[in-house]
Amino acid sequence: MPRALIIGHRGQDGRILWDQLTRRGFSLVGVSRHAVEVCNADKYDPVDVADLASVRRLVERFRPQQVYYLAAHHHSSQEPGTNEADIWRDSWRVHVEGFGNVLEAVYGFCSEARVFYASSSRVFGEAATRPQNERTSMRPTCIYGVTKASGMLLADYYRRVRGLFVACGILFNHESPLRGPQFVTQRVVDGLVALKKGVLPSFEIGSLDARVDWGYAPDYTRAMWMILEARKPQDFVVASGRTYSVRDLVETAAQCLGIDWQGHVVETSSILQRHAQELCGDTTRLREATGWCPSVDFRGMVAILVDGALARFEGRTRATDSR
């Protein structure tokens, strides 16, 4: 039975990937901030990724064949009140220090394992070219992007100098009903459902004109394990290759719900904590190396998000489509 270790298994991507790998017959160990979970594997003590000794104990005992480093410290552009120094500290600890500990443990105990690092389109920041691909210069403009870029440099070092199979997925925005409420997609669908149900007269959005390359999260987690099955380790852009505005998101979701949103969605730029760059990914390398292609388009993704928001409002449990 193949063995995979998922760091950050309780986030959106981790939960979806867990389901996908379970169906593929993997023995799994998942590490989150609060617990270690297993599927077809022995139990393990809690692990702090910032503690090299605990990471080494886990890796030495489990000897994974695949490692997915999905841990992330998120901070929304519409989430005020967080001290920047704290964001720097926590982001570096999760995106770089913890990842380095995992790589060092893999190098020491199972150097044949294949490692995936979940990076972000935020590494491109003020990109000089469009669309962005693996050769686009990294020019991050936020803490998240800087620390994810640092994690990619660490991956490159272990790949070139230490000889590990380490691949990075430069993930553009990808959504599902499991997304946290701080993300704009969930703010929109939850707000529109509240309008439809008569709970709210209106709600605020930072910018309706901001454009985003959005995709469906289960397609992106499928890309992760396809990347680890590729012939050689590389960095890969994972994206839809098309951008849509937040206005498009609102209009499409409102159509799904059969409501008029005009006059009820208030654009309030003052709630934005940072300017959002328009980024659009080129997945040529990924498609040629793995055969990957997305299975759900923008309208399909929005319909799934709306169904998830309705289920949350009505207290229903919606089965996650992890494909």
Higher pLDDT, 77 or 32: 32
As a residue count, the chain comes to 323
Give residue 251's Cα distance to chain centre. 25
Query: What is the distance between the alpha carbons of residues 268 and 262, in angstroms, rounded to a whole number?
Result: 15
Please indicate, yes or no, if residue 317 is contained in any of the structural domains.
Answer: no
Please indicate, yes or no, if residue 307 is contained in any of the structural domains.
Answer: no
Query: What is the distance between the alpha carbons of residues 303 and 32, in angstroms, rounded to a whole number?
Result: 30
Kindly give, in sequence order, each residue whose CB lies less than 8 Å from that of residue 197, ignoring residues fewer than 6 positions away.
313
Predicted pLDDT at 323: 61
Helix, strand, coil shares of the chain as percentages rounded to 5?
40, 15, 40
Query: What is the distance between the alpha carbons of residues 143 and 89, in angstroms, rounded to a whole number?
Result: 10
Query: What is the distance between the alpha carbons of residues 118 and 95, in angstroms, rounded to a whole number?
Result: 9
Residue type for position 65:
Q
Residue 15's domain comprises 3-180+214-242+280-295
β-strand partners of 118: 169
Q: Residue 225 is part of a domain; what is its CATH number?
A: 3.40.50.720
Buried b (16+ CB within 10 A) or exposed e, 264-275: bbeeeeeebeee
According to DSSP, residue 179 is labeled S
Encoding tokens for residue 242?
Answer: 């098309």
pLDDT digits (tens, 9 = 90+) for 85-115: 999 999 999 999 999 999 999 999 999 999 9
Encoding tokens for residue 180?
Answer: 């946290």
Confidence of residue 78 (pLDDT cuts 50, 70, 90): very low
pLDDT digits (tens, 9 = 90+) for 108-164: 999 999 999 999 999 999 998 999 999 999 999 999 999 999 999 999 999 999 999
Encoding tokens for residue 144?
Answer: 């998240």
What pTM was estimated for this model as a whole?
Answer: 0.95
β-strand partners of 30: 6, 37
Confidence of residue 287 (pLDDT cuts 50, 70, 90): very high
Q: Is the separation of the CB atoms in 96 and 154 below 8 Å?
A: yes
Confidence of residue 269 (pLDDT cuts 50, 70, 90): confident
Please indicate, yes or no, if residue 31 is contained in any of the structural domains.
Answer: yes
Please indicate, yes or no, if residue 52 is contained in any of the structural domains.
Answer: yes
Please indicate, yes or no, if residue 133 is contained in any of the structural domains.
Answer: yes
Please indicate, yes or no, if residue 85 is contained in any of the structural domains.
Answer: yes
Predicted pLDDT at 167: 98
Round the average pLDDT of the chain to a whole number and report it.
94
Confidence of residue 308 (pLDDT cuts 50, 70, 90): very high
Confidence of residue 74 (pLDDT cuts 50, 70, 90): confident
Predicted pLDDT at 80: 53
* Count: domains in the chain: 1
Query: What is the distance between the alpha carbons of residues 172 and 240, in angstroms, rounded to a whole number?
Result: 8
Please indicate, yes or no, if residue 306 is contained in any of the structural domains.
Answer: no
Please indicate, yes or no, if residue 190 is contained in any of the structural domains.
Answer: no
